[in-house]
Amino acid sequence: MKKALLTFGIVMVAALAVRADTIADWTFETSQPATAGPITPEVGAGSGLGNHAGAAVYSSPSGNGSVHSWSANLWAVGDYWQFSVNTTTFSNLQLSWDQAGSSTGPKDFRLAYSSDGGSTFTDFSTYTVILSGFSTGSTNTAATHSFDLSGVTALNNNANVVFRLIDNSTNAIGGSTAGVGTGGTDRVDNFTVTATAAVPEPSVIGMVALGTALVVGAIRHRKGKA
């Protein structure tokens, strides 16, 4: 009986183990954005926005190994891409996206997050963007950025999570001394938010309940024979 209980325990722990899920993924293949948004993700739920101080032109040129991405020109320091998601019942967030730009587009960006719907933001990391290497027929891994935000507990189980990719300087990708050009573009693709599910699915809960009932029944049956 002890062996059976041990086996049951191992099975139940495995059944209740958290799993990785995609909360939202903006591929821009369906949305094909031509405005500042809001843009709905192709997978999951959320909202994407572009924000520029000037009258930027938005478009959906070739993506990183796909037909479409999200692009904008007229970049200035403080302009950003924004992605909002609901992480209720999720924790240990991970971010991944592709980003590139033209020679006169912005080079330096920072990733910031908000846990209060965008009222306040906290800088998480800085990074640089490569010269546009997006092609419909191939994927350029040098354009991919990935960040582990599992240590930011304020983003767990939160309906008001917002991420921003913010232009952080006047430096152009091509190194122009004149800075970022008005026609310089930046484009993003495959912005994906993943996490681990904090609450097991009903089917898993049902398995646990059934397993518990079987073990209890087996114990009672054994005692009845004693």
pTM score over 0.85? no
Any idea what the CATH number is for the domain that residue 68 is in?
Answer: 2.60.120.260
pLDDT of residue 119: 98
Q: What is the per-residue pLDDT for 13? A: 44
Question: Domain count of the chain?
Answer: 1
Quick check: is 71 in a domain?
A: yes
Place of tokens 């917002």: 162
Q: What is the pLDDT of residue 132?
A: 85
Contact 134, 28 (CB under 8 A): no
Q: pLDDT of 176-209, one tens digit each?
A: 878 899 999 999 999 999 999 865 545 444 444 4
Residue 2 lies in a domain: no
Q: How far apart are CA 12 and CA 30, in angstroms?
A: 40
Q: Residue 7 domain-assigned?
A: no
**Nearest Cα to Cα of residue 93 among 118, 78, 109, 114:** 114
Residue 176: its pLDDT value, please?
81
219 part of a folded domain: yes
Q: Which residues pair with 189 in a beta bridge?
A: 98
For residue 98, the enclosing domain spans 15-225
Q: Distance (Å, rounded) from C-alpha 87 to C-alpha 163?
A: 12
> Would you say 50 and 70 are in contact if contact means Cβ atoms under 8 Å apart?
yes
**Structural domain includes residue 19:** yes
Residue 4 domain-assigned (yes or no): no
Residue 165 lies in a domain: yes
Instruction: Give the residue among 85, 134, 127, 90 at the shortest CA–CA distance from 110.
Output: 127
Q: What is the pLDDT of residue 69?
A: 98
C-beta neighbour count of 39 within 10 angstroms: 25
- pLDDT per residue, tens digit, the chain (226 aa), is 444 444 444 444 444 455 779 999 999 999 999 999 999 999 999 999 999 999 999 999 999 999 999 999 999 999 999 999 999 999 999 999 999 999 999 999 999 999 999 999 999 999 999 998 799 999 999 999 999 999 999 999 999 999 999 999 999 999 987 889 999 999 999 999 999 986 554 544 444 444 444 444 444 545 555 5
Q: Are 39 and 70 in contact (CB under 8 A)?
A: yes
